[in-house]
Amino acid sequence: MALTKPIKSLWEIPREERFVGGHAACQGCGAALVLRHLTKVVGKDAIIVNATGCMEVISTLFPRTAWRNPWLHLAFENAGAAASGVEAALKALQRKGVIDKNRYIKVVAIAGDGGTFDIGLQSLSGMLERGHDVMYVVYDNEAYMNTGIQRSGATPYGAWTTTTPVGKKFRGEWRPKKDIVGIAYAHRIPYIATANPAYPIDMINKFIKAYNTRGPSLVHVLTPCTPGWRIPESKTIEVAKLAVQTGMWVLLEIENGKPKVTVKIRRRKPVREYLKMQGRFRHLKDEDIKKIQELVDKYVEEINRWVGEEAIGPVEE
């Protein structure tokens, strides 16, 4: 049974593992941890559609699978379209009496930032616009990690990747991160949220809400990548937490167009603390870090204006 009510403590997380161990994810992989919790929330009555990417590849090396749910992978850019096809099939088969009408089987699409922000954007947009009842979870490790840490539209300003490397002329990504929440918001879908594995109760409750939304929903989760971000395997959660504590990652929830911040930060930590933990930002000079701090300050200001309160406070002295 999928969870329907929000949880208040970690003890309420279902024990049954539906994304089982033995898969080939890196030690400390943020995404694998997130999927483990996602599958616990959605339970048995969910069909998973997974785009090509880290999570698909490490979990389904024939003849083994880590998935206890029915699971479909087609290609890199079509999680949205494939999920639409499954959802439509379920609707038709239920209407024609082939599947029990009273059974709610959720279609859950899972894709990385690559398969969502860039190559998968078209099929995501189509799915959202047509209003399919699909829960779309994007695990964002901020680059095309599976193919070797190449830059994606989700790569943040200043980050080293293999296609935005640090050299004499160019030093990391020079463009800001694409706003996927804004894009989803423009589609006027009933539920959008951002989440972070360092705040598991908040994340799980958002998964619950998305599952129980009748219509398209999108949950955007930050999932640190130990090789790609150049962090020690034991630091995944610490880094993820700093993303929220510095205001680089704001935990939002937008229900029927009304935005709110679900984890307020009274005093933000300076971004330096987040950046210095990661090898992909090692090359940044003081003026680069200052620039990033300004970008975050601006972002926080926009969020506060949007939600109508100072949900994310100033940087602590």
Partner 1 sequence: MALVEEKPREEQLPTRRRKIAATGADAAAYAVRDADVDVVAVYPITPQAPIAENIAQMIADGELDAELIHVESEHSAMSASVAAAATGARAFTATSSQGLALMYEILYIASGLRQPVVMALATRAYSAPINIWNDYADAMSMRDTGWIEIFSENVQEVYDNLVQAFRIAEHPDVLLPVVVTLDGYILSHTTEALEPLDREEVLSFAPKRPRGYRPVLDPDHPVTIGVLGAPNWYQEIKVQQALAMRESRRVIEEAGKEFGKRYGREYGFIEPYYMDDAEVAIVTLGATSSLVKAAVNRLREQGVRAGMVKIRVFRPFPAEELAKALENVSAVGVLDRAVSFGGALEGPLAMEVLTTLAVRGIVKPTISFIHGLGGRDIFVKDVVEMYQKLLEAAKSGKSVTRTLFYGVKSRRGHIV
Among 32-40, 53-61, 177-185, 303-311, which window interacts with partner 1 (CB under 8 A)? 53-61
| CB contact at 8 A, 113 and 196 | no
Amino acid at position 63, single letter: P
Among 8-16, 72-80, 188-196, 280-288, which window interacts with partner 1 (CB under 8 A)? 72-80
According to the binding rule CB under 8 A, does residue 90 interact with partner 1? Answer: yes
CA–CA gap between residue 156 and residue 216 (Å, rounded): 27
Among 9-17, 68-76, 224-232, 292-300, which window interacts with partner 1 (CB under 8 A)? 68-76
For residue 45, CA distances in Å to 12, 83, 104, 154 come to: 19, 15, 7, 31
Among 118-126, 157-165, 185-193, 256-264, which window interacts with partner 1 (CB under 8 A)? 118-126
According to the binding rule CB under 8 A, does residue 186 interact with partner 1? Answer: no
CA–CA gap between residue 224 and residue 238 (Å, rounded): 10
Q: Which of 134, 135, 151 is nearest to 143 (CA)?
A: 151
Beta bridge partners of 19: 67
According to the binding rule CB under 8 A, does residue 161 interact with partner 1? Answer: no
Q: Which is nearer to partner 1, 60 or 262 (CB)?
A: 60
> Cβ of residue 159: shortest distance to partner 1, in angstroms?
28
CA–CA gap between residue 231 and residue 249 (Å, rounded): 18
According to the binding rule CB under 8 A, does residue 88 interact with partner 1? Answer: yes
According to the binding rule CB under 8 A, does residue 201 interact with partner 1? Answer: no
Among 84-92, 149-157, 164-172, 213-221, which window interacts with partner 1 (CB under 8 A)? 84-92
Among 81-89, 149-157, 212-220, 221-229, which window interacts with partner 1 (CB under 8 A)? 81-89
Of 6, 12, 27, 44, the residue at the interface with partner 1 (CB under 8 A) is 44
CA–CA gap between residue 66 and residue 59 (Å, rounded): 5
Phi-psi region of 176 (alpha: psi -120 to 50; beta: other; left: phi over 0): beta
DSSP conformation letters of 171-210 = BS--SPPP-HHHHHHHTT-SEEEEE-TTSHHHHHHHHHHH
> Cβ of residue 78: shortest distance to partner 1, in angstroms?
4
For residue 275, count CB atoms less than 10 angstroms from its CB and return exposed for 0-12, middle for 13-18, buried for 19 or more: buried
Of 7, 13, 26, 68, the residue at the interface with partner 1 (CB under 8 A) is 68
According to the binding rule CB under 8 A, does residue 95 interact with partner 1? Answer: yes
According to the binding rule CB under 8 A, does residue 278 interact with partner 1? Answer: no
According to the binding rule CB under 8 A, does residue 254 interact with partner 1? Answer: no
According to the binding rule CB under 8 A, does residue 73 interact with partner 1? Answer: yes
For residue 316, count CB atoms less than 10 angstroms from its CB and return exposed for 0-12, middle for 13-18, buried for 19 or more: exposed
According to the binding rule CB under 8 A, does residue 118 interact with partner 1? Answer: no
According to the binding rule CB under 8 A, does residue 157 interact with partner 1? Answer: no
For residue 39, CA distances in Å to 20, 46, 89, 242 come to: 10, 9, 22, 25
Positions touching partner 1 (CB under 8 A) are: 44-47, 49-50, 56-57, 60-63, 65, 67-75, 77-78, 80-86, 88-93, 95-96, 98-99, 105, 122-123, 125-126, 129-130
